[in-house]
Structure formats: C-alpha cells, structure tokens
C-alpha cells in the first residue's frame, strides 16, 4: 500500500463525497466507506484501508455472510454478459477468465456451485495474484475446508482485492488534485 500519497484532500472530503469516491472499493458495499469516514483524519492509505476493513470485520455473522454474497462468481459468462462491476470485470479478465475453454468454464461452474452450496457464499480470491490455473487449484483446495476457515480466507482475499482498488482510487484522486492545483 502506497504510503507517500498526500491524504489531506481525502481527509477534507465531506461524508457524501468520501462515500462517492470510495464507496465502490468494496463490492456493492458503500457502507465500508461510510463507516470508515468518522475515523478521519487518516494518517496513511493503510489506516484508511484498515478503517474500511474494520467495518467489515465488525459485522455480525449474518451480515458478514450477506456481504460475502454481494461478490460475483468467477465466470467467463459473467464477464461476457457485463453483469459485474467494472472492477470485478477487469480483475477477472486479468486472470484470463474471459478466455477459458468450454471445458474450463464447465469445471469452474461446477466448482463454484459446490463451493456455494457447501459454504453459503461464493468463492472469493484476489484473482490478480493468481494465474487461471492457480485459481482453479485454490478453489479445489479450499472447497472442503471448514466454513469458518473460508470466511477468514474470504476476508483476507477481500482485503487484498480492496487494497488494490483503494490504491487505484487514491492514485486517481492524487492525479486529479495535482492537475487542478
């Protein structure tokens, strides 16, 4: 996580602007940004991310499960259909999930369904850190784990995903701030 970004403009945002800027960092869950806003001023990008993750970690078990269910299935069909957020679409494409064979897509669909049935939420992985083959191997390996382990793993993967997304937002904000001043 970049520590050199000047967070003064972020810390100066009112709550509406803050949520508008960072609300999409977490998949369909602007409440992470909304809940983090009162913890300003943020000393670093890490502190901002930690505040947002704390919102997720402090949800009760049912709300956490509901949050996990906001995440899309890994799927070439979802990429082609355009049914995911722009972030998820780009992330899944980066792992080559838009270029799978019919057999790979069928295997992924089967594994996704088995995972969802077993754990009650979709398989979540920071696809930018894996190859397509690595994603398939991780899904196979994690399928039979205990659900409480998978909740912890899903939250760790979401932390990795959202660190990248937050860095992108902060970089864009910094570029905008620099070009305006």
Q: Are 119 and 64 in contact (CB under 8 A)?
A: no
Residue 129 annotated to the active site = no
CA 37 – CA 21 distance, rounded (Å): 11
Cα 150 to Cα 23, 107, 146, 147: the distances in Å are: 25, 20, 6, 5
CA 102/CA 141 separation, integer angstroms: 22
Query: Which residue in the list 71, 119, 129, 148 is annotated as catalytic?
Result: 71
Q: What is the pLDDT of residues 85-135, one digit of tens each?
A: 999 999 999 999 999 999 999 999 999 999 999 999 999 999 999 999 999
- Residue 83 token pair: 């049914």
Tell me the CA distances in angstroms from 159 to 54, 137, 175, one per residue in order. Answer: 10, 21, 24
Contacts of residue 71, Cβ cutoff 8 Å, sequence gap at least 6: 27, 88, 121, 122, 124, 158
- pLDDT band for 4, please (50, 70, 90 cuts): low
Where do the domains of the chain lie, and which CATH numbers do they carry? 8-65+161-180 (1.10.3330.10), 73-158 (1.10.3330.10)
On the question of pLDDT at 70 being above 70, the answer is yes
Quote the tokens at residue 136: 């398939």
Segment 15-41 mean pLDDT? 97
Please state the pTM of the whole predicted model.
0.92
């Amino acid at each position: 996580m970049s520590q050199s970004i000047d967070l003064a403009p972020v810390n100066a945002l009112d709550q509406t602007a803050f949520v508008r800027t960072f609300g999409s960092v977490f998949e369909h869950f602007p409440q992470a940004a909304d809940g983090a806003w009162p913890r300003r001023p943020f000393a670093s990008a890490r502190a901002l991310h930690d505040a947002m993750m704390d919102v997720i970690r402090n949800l009760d078990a049912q709300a956490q499960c509901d949050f996990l269910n906001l995440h899309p299935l890994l799927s070439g069909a979802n990429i082609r259909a355009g049914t995911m957020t722009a972030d998820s679409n780009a992330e899944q494409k980066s792992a080559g999930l838009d270029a799978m064979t019919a057999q790979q897509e069928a295997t992924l669909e089967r594994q996704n369904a088995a995972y969802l049935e077993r754990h009650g939420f979709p398989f979540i992985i920071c696809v930018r850190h894996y190859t397509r083959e690595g994603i398939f191997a991780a899904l196979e390996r994690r399928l039979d784990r205990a659900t409480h382990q998978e909740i912890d793993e899903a939250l760790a993967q979401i932390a990795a995903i959202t660190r990248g997304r937050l860095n992108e937002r902060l970089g864009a904000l910094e570029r905008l701030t620099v070009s305006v001043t």
